[in-house]
A and B are shown apart, each in its own frame.
Chain A
Amino acid sequence: MPRLELRGAPGPIPACAGIGFRAVHQHALATERPAVGWIEAHTENYFHESGPAGRALERARANYPLSLHGVGLGLGSADGVDREHLAKVKGAIARFEPALVSEHACWGHAGGEFFNDLLPLPYTDEAVELLARQVGEAQDFLGARLLIENVSAYVTFEHSCLQEWEFLTAVAAISGCGLLLDVNNVYVSSQNLGLDARGFIDGLPPDRVAEIHLAGHARNGAVLIDDHGSQVCDAVWELYRYAVNRFGALPTLIEWDTNIPALATLVAESRRADLILGEARGLAA
């Protein structure tokens, strides 16, 4: 495995491939120092001021630029955003000083119950207004610009009147947030709901897209499940190449959260993304 050569104070997230930071890899990451461009950690795993998890991320942070990726805010929840949760995100930002902070275009709680899942929003004007307002308020509170990610969907709302890309574009325009394009999610949603994946990518504003996610999915009968539990499939790599041709080279994360493989496998997957990013740079030169 190639080793990281450039060390020192981590700066902004470079336009190359990164990997998800997982506890099972922390020792290998520290000792082998693989040459990956950056790491991304789930914000909610680092809410506590004490304990070994935070110390491990601090050590990794010393060697790699860091992105913090939240999964629990449910910014599109009509019941509002949990201020206590938001304060903990702010605490994590202050402690780990990430170069990017991201969340999802979803909701997660209603009537006091949290479902701890990335639940889909109806693509309506009301949902645009609410999500944009709550993203804007979160950004003001956190003192950081957020990247908002498209989620995998298994259903559509009868009341939706916008395309998903129109919805995200409007939220970004109103709130000033950036967009995190999850290419696997685009593919999963398009296959499940009969949507046009390339049309989705064509519709997003290039000046707003600042990061890309890649992951594997599982098939359950006719439905694709976004489980982050396997290699990126060929169709998603193709769609990624299409996205990179449109948006240029962007920081690209390999997500692998279940059935987590050896670090070397994850690094090899990131090499594949780096090759495609290199091709895009060659074309642009």
Chain B
Amino acid sequence: MVSLREMQSAFAAALRDPSAACPVLPAGNLSIYRNNSAISFRSALESSFPVVRRRVGDDYFRQLSAQYRARFPSRSGDLHWIGRDFPAFLLEHLHGSEYAWLADLARLEWSREKASIARVEPAVAADVLGRFAPTQLEHLVFTLQPSLSLVASDFPIFTIWAANQVENAPPVDQSLSGECGMVRARIDLLEVRPLEPRLFSYLSALAAGAPLPDAIVSAGLDQAGLVSALGFVFTEGLVCAVRETGT
């Protein structure tokens, strides 16, 4: 007698390979399950990467989904995380091609997906700095919102993303300069926003845990730039906590 495990193993093999034998009738109808499974995977991928799908079109997205699935099959009954490796897959798959920018666009979209389920912490106001003595200021480290992702690219991915919030948008000029920016969650709102490069560098240094002065130096900010950047992180509610290094 064939065991249940053997039957499911044969069924699974037939879902991967139409020529594999499986003890079911009519065997031709296995194609329906093969198709259902592919659609579930692709639909989940598309819900995470709608702009990539819009830019490449349905047919090519279907091909990409099948190739990605062959390399990174689903490992969970929860499809939410199915796209985790898609940006890296595209980076490798499209390396050196005229579509290499799609990998960065996918990275931006995955940041948005992660932000959609991240906590939104209460923000601290700028007057928190007043609690520290001037000598302590150079040792301050900011904890930023857990939903914050900072994304940089050699391509104009923020412009592409914004232009493709509708179907059939005209292509964006790829010769535009690279862009950097942030993705973060607010209550019931996801924000995707390009940033000025020095502000981006400053935020990146803060996010990496650099003390305030180091972040200022690495971003090349002057006094006015610092005031502006500090104002930005507090008015945008990006800071959840401020502490001294080593505490």
Contacts and interface: CB of A to CB of B under 8 A. Distances in A.
Given A52-B116, A114-B76, A78 B5 contact: yes
Interface stretch (B33-41, B150-158, B206-214): B33-41
A115 B35 CA distance: 10
Contacts of A223: 29, 32
Contacts of A158: 23-25
B120 interface: yes
A52 B188 contact: yes
Interface string A66-107: 000001111001110010110010000000000000000001
A115 B15 contact: yes
A229 B111 CA distance: 31
A50 B24 contact: no
Given A52-B116, A126-B4, A44 B80 contact: yes
A71 B30 CA distance: 20
Interface stretch (A116-124, A263-271, A276-284): A116-124
A245 to B, nearest CB: 32
B71 interface: no
Interface stretch (A140-148, A149-157, A169-177, A205-213): A149-157
B46 to A, nearest CB: 13
B9 A119 contact: no
Nearest to A115: B37
Contact of B24 (A51, A117, A126, A156): A156
B77 A72 contact: yes
B136 interface: no
B118 A74 contact: no
A157 B23 CA distance: 6
A110 B75 contact: no
B4 A124 contact: yes
A77 B5 CA distance: 8
A114 B77 contact: yes
Interface residues on A, range: 35 or more
B172 interface: no
B166 to A, nearest CB: 17
A192 B78 contact: no
Interface string A5-36: 00000000000000000000000000000000
B4 A51 contact: no
Contact of A126 (B3, B15, B36): B3
Contacts of A108: 77
B9 A154 contact: no
Interface string B114-147: 0011111000000000000000000000000000
Contacts of A47: 78, 80
A55 interface: yes
Nearest to A55: B188
A162 to B, nearest CB: 13
Contact of A44 (B4, B12, B79, B117): B79
Nearest to A126: B4
A48 B80 contact: yes
B235 interface: no
A195 B164 CA distance: 49
Nearest to A122: B7
A2 interface: no
B73 interface: yes
Interface string A190-227: 00100000000000000000000000000010010100
21 contacts: A44-B79, A51-B185, A52-B187, A53-B116, A78-B5, A84-B76, A85-B77, A107-B8, A110-B5, A110-B9, A113-B74, A114-B77, A115-B33, A115-B40, A116-B44, A117-B33, A126-B4, A155-B27, A155-B29, A156-B24, A223-B32
Given A50-B120, A115-B15, A121-B4, 10 more contacts: A44-B77, A72-B76, A78-B5, A79-B5, A110-B5, A117-B33, A130-B4, A155-B26, A155-B27, A158-B25
Interface of B: 1-5, 7-9, 11-12, 15-16, 23-27, 29-30, 32-33, 36-37, 40-41, 44, 73-80, 116-120, 185, 187-188
Interface of A: 44, 47-53, 55, 71-74, 77-79, 82, 84-85, 88, 107-117, 119, 121-122, 124, 126-127, 130, 154-159, 192, 220, 223, 225
